[in-house]
């Protein structure tokens, strides 16, 4: 008990008990008034100057927004704040929420590592937090990882910290004294609407038979903490950022907003002295070269602006359909391999999309499981596509691998879609694909060709083993709008599943709490698909001067980022749309309308004679209408 009465009849605390508790009471009250000093001196966690500023200003706020650069230590500092409040304020109920359970679990795990002194960059042997955690079993450390109830640890003073696992609807009606939204920029508004009421009830509200409001101290207000990097101006996170700035500038001390771009972690100080940077300028420059829009958003806190009405798909659509899985291969499944070849300076991405049937709707859906960019990085940092023969070799390897190697017939489980634009040398590439080829083991394999392309049919004549039916050359001018319209239709419906975001290190936390160390190929795959999602969310619908419609990057982004990865994504979605349409409509039999006017040469089926007669039978005109022009014409002079 941290807040006690001095009168014995009201709390059964003797003078001797009070004297023994007095030093702890003073320590707790001092910690409440000086949270930064408490963290540094009692928890022995040294803080940089900007971290002290964040803690001090957030401590008594009701609404706090941290818009911070990548690698600025947001999750670490949030956990330090969580542990300090849980320790200093008994019976505090603290919840960590994010768009996906994996993110909230990772944030919880960061706090667990702090308590157990497992943070590599934090050298200490302090056990204050771990000693205050309630242990239900002798062999337990107090940290519970339950996939249904969430990740939880409880303290001896009654406080608890819970990382919400699964849908937030499962905990509707709970009460919370502190809500921490990690990566707030990707959290949909629906999750905020359901969870923010957790902290609505005033923290000072108390009732009891011996309760005296004049004696009990006023409680610290409930806190809603929104953490993340800048996203776009249509996100709920931006609305919190904007409203918080207005209120703080107006002098409302309930609100606190921190906007810390990469210059802060690049030049950190501790007690006024320069420290080792948390990130490097080279990393920032690399991100700016790869995608300037993303770099400006993640490192310089520039919120991206676009009209959501013109967006093909939004980031909320992407994150709502994100699954936590490791890129994998099932030889019994079918795959779409979409490829946009390049010959000069563009990217040359290959995307693998797995086809599967939804367990509930039993309709075909797609899942993006792997992506490679067939480019080479040179010593000067420049990137150029592989030579044509190298691209063909790698594409053949991917097709062979995902088709199931030699366990199935050639190209039985894959559909290869290649952009037919002349800039990527598609004709030359397709000529090579017609040829028979030999793998590393000396086994000979047939080529493949598009039987609907008149030029490719001619090229394939010299290779009788070439297999038709599994390759389609897509002309961009003809199908471009259809590709993006298919994405606009299927992604919001949840028919397309996206991979998880690439982890900060090479370890991916799965839904069951286990850690999976990603090898280089899978790590690069997730990075490429992160860039794909970024490009896809940037594409918009624009009207042309002639009154038509086109889909492309907005004007302000065309020289700052690419659209190649997004193009192969929409290419795969378009083919998925064709599959779903064919399944619903079935094989359509073309109607030969010449039978209606070539009656003399037509052999009618007896069964069809009746409806043909009915078709030509005069309509029943039992009710006759007189023409208003019957008789002499009223227009005659």
What is the DSSP code string of 151-206? Answer: EEEEBTTS-EEEE--S-GGGGTT---SEEEETTGGGS-HHHHHHHGGGG-S-TT--
Question: Is residue 594 in a domain?
Answer: no
Cα–Cα dist 194/99, whole Å: 12
Total tally of structural domains belonging to the chain: 3
Question: Is residue 604 in a domain?
Answer: no
Q: Are residues 372 and 236 in the same domain?
A: no
Q: Are residues 256 and 396 in the same domain?
A: no
pLDDT at 95: 92
Residue tagged 């939004």 (tokens): 314
- How many CB atoms lie under 10 A from the CB of residue 246? 11
Q: Are residues 127 and 199 in the same domain?
A: yes
Cα–Cα dist 291/530, whole Å: 11
Secondary structure (DSSP) of 585-613: H-SPPPP-GGGGT--TT----HHHHHHHH
Joined together, the tokens standing for residue 185 give 């920029």
Within 8 A by CB and 6+ apart from 242, the residues are none
Instruction: Please tell me what DSSP assigns to residue 420.
Output: -
Q: Which residue range forms the structural domain that includes residue 19?
A: 1-33
Which helix (H) or strand (E) segment holds residue 331: the answer is: none
Cα–Cα dist 15/298, whole Å: 57
Q: Are residues 59 and 103 in the same domain?
A: yes
Q: Are 510 and 516 in contact (CB under 8 A)?
A: yes
Q: Are residues 169 and 131 in the same domain?
A: yes
Last residue of a domain, one of 551, 568, 585: 585
pLDDT at 197: 84
634 phi and psi, to 5 degrees?
A: -75, -10
Q: Are residues 384 and 283 in the same domain?
A: no
Which residue in 199, 243, 189 sits closest to 221, CA to CA? 199
Q: Are residues 272 and 354 in the same domain?
A: no
Residue tagged 């100057």 (tokens): 49
Question: Is residue 295 in a domain?
Answer: no
Residue 419, domain CATH: 3.30.420.240
Residue 112, domain CATH: 3.40.50.300
pLDDT at 214: 54
Question: Is residue 406 in a domain?
Answer: yes
* 3-state DSSP assignment of residue 398: helix
Q: Residues in the chain with pLDDT < 50?
A: 1-9, 588-629, 633-637
Which residue in 198, 4, 2, 150 sits closest to 85, CA to CA? 2
Cα–Cα dist 149/244, whole Å: 32
Question: Is residue 188 in a domain?
Answer: yes
Question: Is residue 620 in a domain?
Answer: no
Last residue of a domain, one of 585, 608, 632: 585
Q: Are residues 222 and 337 in the same domain?
A: no
Within 8 A by CB and 6+ apart from 558, the residues are 552
Q: Are residues 249 and 329 in the same domain?
A: no
How far lies 206's CA from each of 109, 119, 210, 409, in Å?
A: 33, 39, 11, 73
Instruction: Please tell me what DSSP assigns to residue 618.
Output: P
Residue tagged 């300028």 (tokens): 281
Cα–Cα dist 545/365, whole Å: 36
Q: Are residues 388 and 479 in the same domain?
A: yes
pLDDT at 19: 78
Q: Are 573 and 491 in contact (CB under 8 A)?
A: yes
Cα–Cα dist 342/44, whole Å: 55
pLDDT at 437: 92
Longest Cα–Cα distance in the chain: 123
Question: Is residue 474 in a domain?
Answer: yes
Q: Are residues 465 and 368 in the same domain?
A: yes
Q: How far is CA 71 from the centre of its chain?
A: 19
Joined together, the tokens standing for residue 593 give 């309308």
How far lies 296's CA from each of 126, 241, 284, in Å?
A: 38, 17, 9
Cα–Cα dist 311/610, whole Å: 52
Question: Is residue 365 in a domain?
Answer: yes
Which residue in 118, 99, 305 sits closest to 183, CA to CA? 99
pLDDT at 191: 83
Cα–Cα dist 396/467, whole Å: 13
Q: Are residues 254 and 403 in the same domain?
A: no
Q: Are 571 and 474 in contact (CB under 8 A)?
A: yes
Within 8 A by CB and 6+ apart from 71, the residues are 265, 278, 279, 283
Which helix (H) or strand (E) segment holds residue 12: the answer is: none
Residue tagged 């190209």 (tokens): 411
Cα–Cα dist 169/171, whole Å: 5
Cα–Cα dist 385/339, whole Å: 13
Secondary structure (DSSP) of 277-342: -SS-HHHHHHHHHH-HHHHHHHHH---B---TTTBSS-HHHHHHTB--------TTSEEEEEE---
Our CA dihedral for 22, 26, 27, 32, rounded to 10 degrees, sits at 140
pLDDT at 379: 67
pLDDT at 114: 92
Last residue of a domain, one of 271, 287, 303: 287
Which residue in 193, 302, 184, 197 sits closest to 235, CA to CA? 184
Q: Which residues of 174-185 are buried (b: 16+ CB within 10 A; e: fewer)?
A: eebbbbbbbbbb
Q: Are 414 and 337 in contact (CB under 8 A)?
A: yes
Secondary structure (DSSP) of 53-86: HHHHHHTT-SEEEEEE-TTS-HHHHHHHHHHHHH
pLDDT at 64: 96
Which residue in 269, 294, 270, 272 sits closest to 283, CA to CA? 294
pLDDT at 533: 92
pLDDT at 557: 75
How far lies 219's CA from each of 21, 177, 204, 214, 591, in Å?
A: 20, 10, 5, 13, 78
Q: Are 190 and 198 in contact (CB under 8 A)?
A: no
């Amino acid at each position: 008990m941290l807040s006690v009465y001095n009168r014995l009849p009201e709390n059964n605390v003797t003078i001797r008990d009070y004297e023994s508790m007095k030093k702890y009471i003073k320590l707790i009250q001092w910690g409440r008034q000086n949270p930064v000093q408490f963290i540094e001196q009692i928890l022995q966690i040294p803080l940089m100057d900007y971290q002290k500023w964040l803690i001090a200003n957030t401590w008594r706020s009701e609404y706090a927004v941290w818009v911070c650069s990548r690698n600025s230590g947001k999750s670490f500092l949030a956990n330090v704040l969580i542990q300090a409040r849980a320790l200093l304020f008994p019976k505090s109920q603290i919840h960590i929420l994010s768009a996906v359970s994996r993110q909230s679990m990772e944030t919880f795990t960061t706090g667990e590592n702090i308590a157990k002194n497992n943070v590599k960059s934090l050298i200490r042997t302090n056990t204050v937090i771990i000693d205050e955690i309630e242990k239900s079993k002798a062999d337990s450390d107090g940290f519970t990882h339950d996939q249904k109830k969430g990740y939880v640890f409880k303290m001896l003073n009654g406080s608890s910290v819970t990382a919400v696992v699964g849908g937030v609807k499962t905990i509707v009606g709970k009460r919370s004294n502190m809500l921490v939204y990690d990566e707030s920029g990707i959290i949909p508004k629906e999750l905020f609407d359901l969870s923010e009421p957790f902290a609505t009830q005033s923290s000072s509200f108390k009732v009891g038979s011996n309760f005296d409001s004049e004696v009990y101290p006023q409680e610290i207000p409930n806190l809603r903490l929104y953490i993340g990097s800048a996203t776009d101006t249509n996100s709920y996170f931006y609305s919190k950022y904007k409203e918080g700035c207005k209120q703080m500038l107006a002098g409302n001390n309930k609100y606190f907003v921190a906007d810390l771009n990469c210059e802060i972690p690049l030049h950190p100080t501790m007690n006024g002295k320069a420290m080792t940077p948390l990130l490097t300028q080279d990393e920032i420059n690399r991100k700016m070269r790869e995608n300037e829009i993303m770099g400006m958003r993640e490192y310089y806190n520039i919120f991206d602006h676009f009209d959501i009405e013109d967006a093909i798909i939004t980031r909320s659509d992407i994150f709502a359909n994100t699954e936590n899985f490791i890129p994998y291969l099932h030889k019994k499944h079918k795959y779409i391999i979409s490829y946009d070849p390049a010959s000069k300076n563009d990217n040359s991405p290959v995307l693998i999309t797995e086809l599967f049937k939804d367990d509930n709707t039993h309709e075909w859906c797609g899942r993006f499981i792997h992506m490679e960019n067939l480019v080479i990085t040179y010593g000067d940092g420049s990137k150029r596509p592989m030579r044509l023969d190298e691209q063909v070799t790698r594409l053949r390897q991917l097709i062979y691998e995902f088709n199931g190697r030699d366990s199935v017939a050639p190209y039985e489980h894959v559909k290869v879609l290649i952009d037919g634009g002349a800039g990527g040398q598609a004709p030359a590439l397709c000529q090579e694909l017609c040829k028979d080829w030999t793998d590393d083991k000396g086994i000979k394999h047939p080529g493949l060709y598009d039987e609907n392309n008149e030029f490719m049919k001619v090229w394939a004549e010299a290779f009788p083993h070439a297999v038709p039916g599994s390759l389609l050359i897509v002309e961009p001018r003809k199908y471009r709008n259809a590709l993006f319209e298919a994405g606009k239709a299927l992604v919001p419906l949840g028919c397309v599943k996206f991979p998880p975001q690439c982890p900060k290190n090479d370890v991916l936390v799965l839904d069951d709490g286990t850690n999976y160390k990603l090898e280089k190929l899978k790590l690069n795959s997730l990075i490429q698909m992160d860039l794909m999602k970024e490009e896809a969310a940037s594409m918009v619908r624009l009207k042309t001067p002639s009154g038509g419609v086109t889909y492309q990057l907005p004007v302000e982004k065309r020289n700052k980022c690419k659209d190649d990865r997004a193009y192969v994504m929409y290419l795969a979605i378009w083919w998925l749309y064709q599959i779903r349409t064919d399944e619903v409509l079935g094989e359509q039999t073309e109607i030969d309308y010449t039978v209606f006017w070539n009656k003399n040469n037509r052999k009618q089926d007896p069964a069809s004679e009746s409806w043909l007669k009915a078709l030509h039978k005069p309509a029943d005109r039992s009710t006759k209408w007189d023409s208003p022009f019957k008789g002499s014409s009223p227009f005659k002079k």
